[in-house]
Amino acid sequence: MKFSMERAALLEALGHVQNVVERRNTIPILSNVLMSADNGVINFVATDLDIEISESTSADIAVSGDVTAPAHTLYDIARKLPDGSEVSLSVGSDGRLEVDAGRSHFVLPLLPAGDFPKMTADDFTHDFVLGAAELSRLIDKTKFAISTEETRYYLNGIYFHAIDGKLRCVATDGHRLALCEMKVPDGADGLPGVIIPRKTIAEVRRLIDGLSETIEISVSEAKIRFKVGSAVLTSKLIDGTFPDYDRVIPKGGDKKLVVDNGVFASAVDRVSTISAEKSRSIKLTLEGDNLTLAVNNPEHGNAREDLMVDYGAENLEIGFNAKYLLDVTTQIEARDIHFALSDPASPALVKDPEDDGALFVLMPLRV
């Protein structure tokens, strides 16, 4: 195999696929990227056996063929080469990959292309299209609440489903919940609930970052596929049952709190400076239109700050994890953040007045 291409095109293609490759692999071939050159097109493929990403780009191909080379090493070489340089890749007489650009020369080991695992294509039952901005919003408003607890594997992703004419994404770790929805696109009606893994979400978000084009999505019972320009990401889904999240969304919440989001976030950040690392608990005391944020840490002292708010209901004391509060404030686009509260033991419902399609639930802490 022998081909040459511009450094920027090589870097972009490798950048799209190499992130899926784990830094440490017990199976050597999984550390490599498969490069297939034919008919003026080179196709790059990388996989971790759960996710497969491929990217096609044009190249000047002298000799067709397939090889696999170390993904991260090849990416680092491309990244460090000068802008505008022409990169030539070829298999040498010793069976190793030779990479040449200007006066730079690299030789890399290869593994047989025939050993590279291919992800089987499923019979996808639903095909639909989303704008990159729409998909970014669905991901960004929910991904922060994905659980990292491996024992509850069914919470290690975003629950993606169609319900009541809406395409909805939900994530929860048992302490907080994030929900974001939009009008269901053509082809997604009746989409069964699927759980998209955390790593897949991160890779898709990286692929669509800054794009304005549309994304083609295909879903089956076991896999999901995203087509982003010339890149295709196929991923296994989490085989589990997502909990009945609707039960934990508060329906009462008669105590309404409205506070300037930026002022509130800054105050929470300041006061939580001395909170215990493990619980990060902060107490909110509401009396009339005054909100007191307080932290009492036996080891590091205490802190408090008063804020003017729009409240007016009966007095209330309730505790939350400060980090979780701050995570929610970053998702609010309006000037104000709206809380619906019931009592110290009930979850709080948080909404963005400028985004009816998103809501957040925070479980209280005992303080």
Q: Is the pLDDT higher at 234 or at 300? A: 234
Instruction: Determine the Cα–Cα distance for residues 164 and 279; give it in Å rounded to an integer.
Output: 37
Residue 94: the pLDDT is 93
**Mean pLDDT score, 48-53:** 96
Q: For tokens 């419902």, what's the residue?
A: 349
Q: Which domains can be identified in the chain, with CATH numbers?
A: 2-115 (3.10.150.10), 126-247 (3.10.150.10), 249-362 (3.10.150.10)
Asked whether the predicted pLDDT for residue 96 surpasses 80, the reply is yes
Q: Using pLDDT thresholds of 50, 70 and 90, give the confidence band for residue 24.
A: confident
Residue 299: the pLDDT is 83
Instruction: Determine the Cα–Cα distance for residues 190 and 185; give it in Å rounded to an integer.
Output: 11
The values of phi and psi at residue 83, to 5°, are -60, 140
Residue 252: the pLDDT is 82
Residue 329: the pLDDT is 97
Q: Using pLDDT thresholds of 50, 70 and 90, give the confidence band for residue 275.
A: confident
Residue 14: the pLDDT is 96
pLDDT digits (tens, 9 = 90+) for 112-144: 999 999 988 778 999 999 999 999 999 999 999
Q: How many other CB atoms are there within 10 angstroms of residue 202's CB atom?
A: 16
Least confident piece of the model among 43-47, 121-125, 226-230? 121-125
Residue 253: the pLDDT is 85
Provide the whole-model pTM. Answer: 0.92
Residue 300: the pLDDT is 83
pLDDT digits (tens, 9 = 90+) for 140-195: 999 999 999 999 999 999 999 999 999 999 999 999 999 999 999 999 998 989 99
Using a pLDDT cut of 70, give the percent of the chain over it.
99
Instruction: Tell me the pLDDT of the chain averaged across its residues.
Output: 94
Asked whether the predicted pLDDT for residue 271 surpasses 90, the reply is yes
Residue 12: the pLDDT is 94
Residue 365: the pLDDT is 92
**Mean pLDDT score, 309-323:** 95
**Mean pLDDT score, 313-322:** 95
Residue 206: the pLDDT is 94
Residue 298: the pLDDT is 83
**Mean pLDDT score, 7-22:** 94
Q: Using pLDDT thresholds of 50, 70 and 90, give the confidence band for residue 23.
A: confident
SS (H, E, C) the chain: CEEEEEHHHHHHHHHHHHCCCCCCCCCHHHHEEEEEEECCEEEEEEECCCEEEEEEEECEEEECEEEEEEHHHHHHHHHHCCCCCEEEEEECCCCCEEEEECCEEEEECCECHHHCCCCCCCCCCEEEEEEHHHHHHHHHCCHHHCCCCHHHHHHCEEEEEEECCEEEEEEECCCEEEEEEEECCCCCCCCCCEEEEHHHHHHHHHHHCCCCCEEEEEECCCEEEEEECCEEEEEECCCCCCCCHHHHCCCCCCEEEEEEHHHHHHHHHHHHHHCCCCCCEEEEEEECCEEEEEEEECCCEEEEEEEECECCCCCEEEEEEHHHHHHHHCCCCCCEEEEEECCCCCCEEEEECCEEEEEEEECCECC
Residue 123: the pLDDT is 85
Q: How many other CB atoms are there within 10 angstroms of residue 288's CB atom?
A: 12
**Mean pLDDT score, 358-364:** 97
Q: Is the pLDDT higher at 179 or at 277? A: 179
Q: For tokens 């692929």, what's the residue?
A: 207
Q: Is the dihedral of CA 286, 334, 364, 327 positive or negative?
A: negative
